[in-house]
Amino acid sequence: MSTPHGDQRKQAEGDEVSDPREVDMPTSKESTSGGLIDQTNYVPTRKVISIFFSCATIGFIAYLDETMIAVALPLISSELGGGNQIAWVGTSYFITSTSFQLVCGRLSDIWSRKTVLFVLMIIFSLGNIGSAFSNTFVQLLVFRAIAGIGGGGMPTIGQVIVSDTVSLRERGKYQGILGASVALAYGIGPVIGGAFVESSTWRWIFRLLLPLTAISAACCYFFMPLKQVDSDWKVKLRRVDFMGSFLVLASSTLIVMALTWGGGTYAWNDAHVVAPLCIGTALAVAFVLWEGFWPKYPLLPLYIFRQRIVIGAAITHFINGYLTMVQVFYIPAFYQLAYGYSPVKSAALMLTLTVVQTITSSLSGLIITRTGRYRELILIGWVVWTVGLGLFSTLTPSSSLAKQVGYSLLTGFGVGQTMQPSLVAVQGAVDRTDMAVVTAMRSFIRNIGGTLGLTISGTLLTNIFFSNLQNLELDPEMRGRLVDNPLSARKLISEPSQLSAVVAGYRRGFWVIFIIMTALASAAFLFSLFLLNHSSLKRDDDERLKMEAKERLASSKA
């Protein structure tokens, strides 16, 4: 068992190890690390490809679910009702997916990766079946929340499984392509969802996910040679941190709900926002205290934060989530209002960002595998991302299409260059038995950052936009409709001078939120510079694990 503190890791060489279809996978007994099992199981390249394909489809399906539904919300609202609460179709999924991410990491340590993954896929499928056949708005919200439980944990467990089957240095290229599959889902999800909405019914969005999930489950069953965790189910139950699970689920749910309501559905000083925010914060503090002193197998062992890399990764991934969610949401909206682009053209322009993110994510992983270096990639990524966001803040209604595309390319490069390299960095900073926990922590914190980013940006933009509308000669009803939906300005206002003033007000708010994002990206660069120090991607037991796998393969053929 390797340790994260000052160990000297040897060179990881070769790739021809065990064959999952020819060798009986070993059953893991009690490990030397406090009773948790090291589920590392290196396999040869030809088998890594099958595992990787399975894990890539898992992440792709989960994020496709998130993005396809966005374009269908108006149609769902007209069919099932919901009115101004229609955004909760997406929010209910996001709340549960965020809340359960941290829990899934440790559960996979206790019950095995495969067991937890299959349970998550079943929950995800049940939620989508229910969503496809929902007849009321409330039913849809309930089933979307159920789907979110599975959809939140599936990509995280997929990343953990890839990390179990290849060495730390080699996993860079695979994690990079996993990131590319997520970017692809963000890019084509709205297109697929729009196609269903225009040609068929929004219910096909959920129906499509069912065969895709079934195919992915079959791949996982046949191609994933993962270790079994062999112990009595009563022993496993005793290892589950039930109190910690309750505290993190309750606190994250209340905080995300408060942030979602604040500044939109309710004022920030409204009891509907203040009460869950205060209670959620108190429960979050209780969670930290509990994790630090009581459970034998905590969901989030606080000792991992003794590593500077873990602290740096937590901070920078929070910022990463903040920036990613805001730019995905507000750049297309700005295109539609400032330039009069259709939703399709706005999505196409965002696709340039996604394509570059996909390519960069894959290339960064290949570079890590070839050189064993990740720190320089992360720093360069934050520099380019900062420049791209700063340039976005300079866009005006007269800016050329070339500038819009060029700034998207820079931003996409920054996203792809910072995402996966930092995952490799943080996984390399902890012991193997903490790898699932730190991976889940990264996803959890990134989602919280995204929620806060949308909340802060939405509040700032609404306040600035509303203040600008106060200076225009518009009736109160018109102002209210514009504040609720700024993109309706081009339909509601025919006077060119008034429309120009409305666009200028929105552009002012856009400028403010992107200046803030530029400052945050700059801060992330500094945090990376001082906290994400480089550590070797060679573990001292890589060669032993590969040799053991080769011996199992040889003995099976004898």
Structure tokens at 179: 């990131």
CB 334 within 8 A of CB 507: yes
Residue 259 and residue 451: Cα distance in Å, rounded?
Answer: 7
Q: Quick one: DSSP state of residue 263?
A: T
pLDDT of residue 400: 93
Which homologous superfamily is 303-557 in?
Answer: MFS general substrate transporter like domains (1.20.1250.20)
Among the listed residues 305, 307, 300, the one whose alpha carbon sits nearest the alpha carbon of residue 429: 307
CA distances from 448 to 104, 124, 288, 338 (A): 16, 21, 16, 29
Q: Alpha-carbon distance 183 to 66, whole Å?
A: 12
Count, residues in the chain: 558
Q: Which residues neighbour 399 within 8 Å (Cβ) at sequence distance 6 or greater? A: none
What does each C-alpha distance from 206 to 68, 119, 127, 143, 202 come to in angstroms? 9, 19, 9, 11, 8
Instruction: Report CA torsion sign: 477, 478, 483, 487.
Output: positive
d(CA 487, CA 341): 11
**CATH tag for 39-228 (out of 1.20.1050.140, 1.20.1250.20, 3.20.20.150, 3.30.70.2190):** 1.20.1250.20
The pLDDT of residue 129 is 96
Listed in sequence order, the DSSP H helices in 429-495 are 435-469, 476-484, 489-492
Per-residue pLDDT of the chain (558 residues; tens, 9 = 90+): 344 444 433 333 333 333 333 333 444 444 434 567 778 777 777 777 888 888 889 989 998 888 888 778 778 877 887 766 777 888 889 889 988 998 999 999 999 898 999 999 999 999 999 999 999 999 999 999 999 999 999 999 998 998 888 888 888 788 877 877 888 888 788 778 878 877 888 899 999 999 999 998 988 888 776 667 767 788 889 899 999 999 999 999 999 889 888 877 788 899 999 999 999 999 999 999 999 999 999 999 999 999 999 999 999 999 999 999 898 888 888 888 888 888 778 878 888 888 898 899 889 989 998 999 999 999 999 999 999 999 999 998 889 999 999 999 999 999 999 988 999 999 989 988 899 999 999 999 998 998 888 888 888 888 888 888 888 878 888 888 888 778 788 888 888 888 888 888 889 999 999 999 999 999 999 999 999 998 888 877 777 777 776 676 666 665
Neighbouring C-beta atoms of residue 200, cutoff 10 Å: 11
Q: Which residues pair with 539 in a beta bridge?
A: none
d(CA 140, CA 143): 5
The rounded distance, in Å, linking the Cα atoms of 538 and 245 is: 33
pLDDT of the residue at 13: 35
C-alpha–C-alpha distance, residues 150 and 121, integer Å? 6
Residue whose structure tokens are 């969901």? 299
Question: CB–CB of 5/533 below 8 Å?
Answer: no
Containing 125, the helix (H) or strand (E) segment is helix 113-132
Specify the pLDDT at position 211.
Answer: 94
Q: Kindly provide the b/e burial profile for residues 524-545, where b requires at least 16 CB atoms within 10 angstroms of the residue's own CB.
A: bbebbeebbeebebbbebbbeb
SS3 category, 224: coil
pTM of the model: 0.85
| Residue 228 parent element (H or E) | strand 228-229
At 388, list the tokens.
């791209």
Which pLDDT belongs to residue 374?
93
